[in-house]
Amino acid sequence: MNRTFGIYVILSLALLFPACREQKPGEHISLIPLPAEMEARPGSFSIRPGTPLVYSNEELSATARYALSFLGLCGDGQQKPLLAKDTEGVRNAICLLLKSDYNEVLGDEEYRLTVEPDGISISANRPAGVFYGVQTLYQLMSTSVDGKLPCLEITDYPRFGYRGLHLDVSRHFMPVDFIYKYIDYMAMHKLNVFHWHLIDDQGWRLEIKSHPKLTETGAWRVDMSDLHWGLRPLVYDPDNATYGGYYTQDEIRAVVAYAAERNIHVMPEIAMPAHVMSALAAYPEYSCTGENLGVAPGAVWPITHIYCAGNDDTFAFLKDVLLETMELFPFEYIHVGGDEANKANWKTCPKCQMRISDEGLADEEELQSYFVRRIERFLNEHGRRLIGWDEILEGGLAPNATVMSWRGEQGGIEAARMGHNAVMTPTSHCYFDYYQGDPVLEPQAIGGHTTLSNVYSYEPIPEALNEEEAKRILGAQANVWTEHMPVPEQVEYMVFPRLAALSEVLWSPAEHRDWTSFWQRMDAQYMRYERLGINYSLSAFQVTVSPGVDPENRRLLLRLDSEVPDPEIRYTLDGSDPTSRSPLYTEHVAVDAPGTFKAAIFKDGRSMRQVLEREYNIHKAFAADVTLSYPNNPHYNGHGEYSLVNGIHGTRNPYDGNWKGFYGDDMVATIDLGKAIQINGMEVDALQSYYAYIFLPKQLRIEVSEDGTHFVLLDVLQHDVSPNDVEGVIHLFSTNKQAENVRYIRVHAENLGHCPPNHFAEGERAWLFVSEIAVY
């Protein structure tokens, strides 16, 4: 089956992984996440439609029904699981058992799966463990031949108690049918917390009967899908607000029950005090200004239109919302957001200033702490616990709060050292809205770069914590923000296969972590995704290139790599797509003339269709000596001393390794051509990446000299790109002016200096990125 996502075509895994279909019983046991303990034994047992499924306790009835369908055992459709309190004499069946002696060490999610010649048993302390055993049995069956399973014994349990996956349904509403699929995907990966981001500036998705305008008004916005997310203006136009949707309370209850049968807790996020423009479009009286700015159709920054912390009616409203929320969601945790609240309106609001005075607070940061503490008291009174993004640390942490650390590890470290629990979800490893491959080959994403191997390398316990503090780290989760994911198929593409990597990080013992083993086991996982119709990504099969320079021979040396262990990489130098007959990469590829380079991973003689393409340019300044008047930032050093004259241009990805970055400084580069020559033109590229604080230079000034002391102006180059253009832009400054007797060239790119007005980081120092200075 071929499936197309936009222009990103994914081939059938029957073609890409043919070897996976031919393996013999017991030849390769491929499980993700990897079990804690596994012992192979001689013999096998065959499962076929109609194989009896027996369970020993009424507590397992839901799991038994699920297993019968999920494992494909229904036969003629009339079969039902059998309740048998004594399974001692049961043979040639699958038995689901609850242990009579609870094992405190292994806990509620442990299970033991045994395959013997006369049957299969899954036993556990609690139904959750049996459920996870069923998931493991499914994976064993998915790689079996004719239903024949090798005999073995697996004893398994998770490393972390919190294993989460987030989904933002505010930026783009997702149909409830997809939510069910999402939960099934979580269960398959042994995750147990679904963080449902129901509220944000762009839409309110939860029916609240006491305040119906939240969904009548707050769930809908003006459709501006034709504009980039960051270019959509705020507008109050309720008559034309047609884009959105919400979940009824009956739909919520059904989802929560469905998740519970799969051992998944559903944690709602009711954002406050910021990310609430959808609520304030319905009830503007709970803001500081009373102004109705509408439901935001796109990006909002800075987020100043927030709840008024000085108005008691705001808290009465939120208590109403939370009471209905708690009735719908039985999970102990309620997420309250707490992030990215700009306090500008609080600083000028008489009610907020009076609150600061009356409560003896130092400033607006402590006012946010007051806000969170007040909400926490209410939740605690109703037997619930508060969790929020790491900004809730600012101004003082509420007494019983749990911190979700997203801006790196520091929030989790601080919380643990204060005796609070933390869930780790740093942008560096857990933000699945980031690119997972080369942006040239990928659908639009918000930025960043988080590959499959990057996720797999993540260690949730920060090194800075001691043994006791480390116990405060409950686990981790992946975050899926949907600004650039308007449809479920794109959510799937961004989540899979990275979720497989995170599931192993959170479930399997740390000492079992092995990238090569995981990669090999992913063959079978891709096949499972294919059977389930998941729109997964093959970005992990992309090739990366590191250009080096041979200055003596004026050659570019291309070194290729990939996340794939021991990859088969084939390449071309003529611009054609590589085939199985193209040269095999074994060491660096030497290039001494301009052209187009392409490379791709091959598996079993077939291209994985993730084709790297780069132009290279051996020009007059190639491998010349370059002196910088102001050093570039060491974190953005391109490929070293020749990076600006190595013939390789950077991509729209600022982290591709080709760019030299200057933080707040101009780039003044003086090139020594080695001898005086005639030049016939020049090109200099620069990057603008709005969300990464990278902007085009104000202008580019080019001077030439014969002696390196006396320079003459050759050209001043301008551009017409606005610094507030949020689209990723590579601008090529070009001149065709000629000059004779030129040995030295000085290129001065003038840094914008600071992020421009209305930028979310207005006033902070701006970055300037340049990758190549070409001379002709």
Residue 233's CB is within 10 A of a number of other CB atoms, namely: 11
Return the closest-CA partner of residue 675 out of 742, 623, 773: 742
Catalytic residue among 116, 320, 340, 365: 340
Residue 243's CB is within 10 A of a number of other CB atoms, namely: 19
Catalytic residue among 195, 211, 275, 305: 275
DSSP readout, 350-389? HHHHHHHHHTT--SHHHHHHHHHHHHHHHHHHTT-EEEEE
Cα gap 214→211, rounded to integer Å:
6
- Which token pair is 480? 């899926």
Return the closest-CA partner of residue 182 out of 193, 66, 201, 60: 193
- Tell me, yes or no, if 305 is annotated catalytic: no
Contact 580, 598 (CB under 8 A): no
% helix, strand, coil for the chain, step of 5: 25, 30, 45
Cα gap 484→486, rounded to integer Å:
6
- Tell me, yes or no, if 275 is annotated catalytic: yes
- Which token pair is 393? 């640390």
Q: Is 447 left (phi over 0), alpha (psi -120 to 50) or beta?
A: left
Sequence-ordered list of residues with C-beta below 8 angstroms from that of 84, at least 6 positions apart, any chain? 54, 55, 56, 90
Catalytic residue among 109, 200, 201, 656: 200
**Is the four-CA dihedral 285, 288, 292, 297 of positive or negative sign?**
negative
SS3 5: strand
- The distance between the two most distant Cα atoms of the chain, rounded to a whole number of Å, is 98
Could you give the angle at the alpha carbon of 302 between the alpha carbons of 445 and 194, nearest 5°?
50
Q: Which stretches of 604-759 are assigned E, i.e. beta strand?
A: 606-607, 612-616, 625-628, 660-663, 667-679, 682-688, 700-705, 712-717, 729-735, 739-749
Cα gap 192→32, rounded to integer Å:
15
SS3 254: helix
Return the closest-CA partner of residue 370 out of 348, 398, 407, 342: 398
- Which token pair is 647? 């013939």
SS3 276: coil
Tell me, rounded to whole angstroms, the distance of Cα 578 from its chain centroid. 30
- Which token pair is 284? 């503007």
- Backbone angles phi and psi of 528, in degrees to 5: -65, -45
Cα gap 200→152, rounded to integer Å:
48
Cα gap 290→307, rounded to integer Å:
10
- Tell me, yes or no, if 489 is annotated catalytic: no
DSSP 518: H
- Which token pair is 277? 């423009």
Pairing of strands 53-55, 94-98: parallel
Cα gap 658→440, rounded to integer Å:
14
Contact 19, 59 (CB under 8 A): no
- Which token pair is 461? 């316990």
Task: Report, as residue numbers or ranges, the catalytic residues.
Answer: 200, 275, 340
